[in-house]
Amino acid sequence: MPDRKEHLKKGIIFGGPIILLLMFFSRNPAMIFLTVSIGIGLLVLGSILPDLIEPATGPFHRSTFHSLLVLFILSAVGIISIFAVFSFGANIITVGLCAICIGYLIHLILDSRTKMGLPDT
């Protein structure tokens, strides 16, 4: 089962390049460093957020916030926020939303590959 370090490492490895790629759509070059910094920070937060909400030591670990339902909802929100970046340019809000969704999704994908998997709801 992936632990917190594994979730952080995979979140940065797979999500970091996506956040950097989104910066090419920034319409405010002066804000690029701040936006990337906040994006990477929120990516890291998103990659451990499910376990902060439902700790592995708790009785409800891998229930609602580790479910396929949340996976699908966050996928939709992530896709909409990526379209917002392409349409309106990268800013702290759109990149931050993308970053949290990407980190959270990476966490759920890693957990889905374990023997326990993800619950349906």
Judged against a pLDDT cut of 70, whether residue 3 lies above it is answered with yes
Among candidate residues 116, 107, 36, 117, the one with its CA nearest the CA of residue 75: 107
Return the percentage of the chain with pLDDT > 90, whole number.
36
User: Per-residue pLDDT tens for 34-90?
Assistant: 888 888 999 999 999 999 999 888 788 888 899 999 999 999 999 999 888 888 877
pLDDT at residue 105 in the model:
94
Judged against a pLDDT cut of 90, whether residue 101 lies above it is answered with yes
Judged against a pLDDT cut of 80, whether residue 113 lies above it is answered with yes
* pTM: predicted TM-score of the whole model, two decimal places: 0.87
Q: How far is CA 114 from CA 45, 53, 111, 117, in A?
A: 21, 19, 6, 5
Average confidence score pLDDT of the chain? 87
pLDDT at residue 1 in the model:
65
- CA dist 68 and 95 (Å) reads 24
pLDDT at residue 74 in the model:
92
